[in-house]
Amino acid sequence: MSTRPELVVVCGLPGVGKSTVSSLVTDVVDGVRLRSDVVRNELFEEPPYTEESREKVYEELFERASSFLGGGTSVVVDATFREHDRRLAAREVAHTADARFRLLHVVCEREIAEERIATRDDISDADVEVYRNFRAAFDPVELDHDRVDNSGSLSQTRERVESLF
């Protein structure tokens, strides 16, 4: 008897630690991780932060997630999902693939997130200004979800993730 695959959406503002959490979750669910920052850089030579480019990135994330879920593989999607409608669309991807759906909202104290953004060296192009803009425009998370506070240590975050799964 096989188990249904799972689509886990890891959402939150830039710099709060979505990639850290999504990496931990991927290990726990034994799935594949799809990161919006990676997909954006694959789709665009000079990745813009426009509504049109965001739409293309999410379309590609959903296409890839559907393909993996259809093959029975669980998927962790790491993206801001700042709009409620995008979260609903992700839930529909899971429903269409007969997969379980989980939403994790990663949060972090503002000062810590801004410090992490200022000092990080990774694939994300989001700077403190992007963080502040997204903070002002982030729709409330109204779907059933779990909250992961990533303000503390990696071991604290790992413990929280493991307790959820």
* C-alpha distances out from residue 57 to 12, 14, 62, 65, Å: 16, 16, 9, 12
7 close to 77: Cβ distance less than 8 angstroms: yes
Q: In this model, does residue 78 exceed pLDDT 80?
A: yes
Element (H, E) at 42: helix 36-43
In a domain, 53, yes or no: yes
Q: How confident is the model at residue 110, as a pLDDT? A: 82
Radius of gyration of the chain (CA): 15
Q: In this model, does residue 2 exceed pLDDT 80?
A: no
- Tell me the pLDDT band of 46, cut-offs 50, 70 and 90: confident
- Three-class secondary structure of residue 59 per DSSP: helix
- The domain spanning residue 105 has which CATH number? 3.40.50.300
Q: How confident is the model at residue 121, as a pLDDT? A: 59
Q: How confident is the model at residue 56, as a pLDDT? A: 95
Phi, psi of 105, rounded to the nearest 5 degrees: -105, 110
Provide the strand spans (E) within 68-113: 75-78, 100-107
In a domain, 33, yes or no: yes
In a domain, 153, yes or no: yes
Domains identified in the chain, total number: 1
In a domain, 1, yes or no: no
- Domain of 87, in residue numbers: 6-164
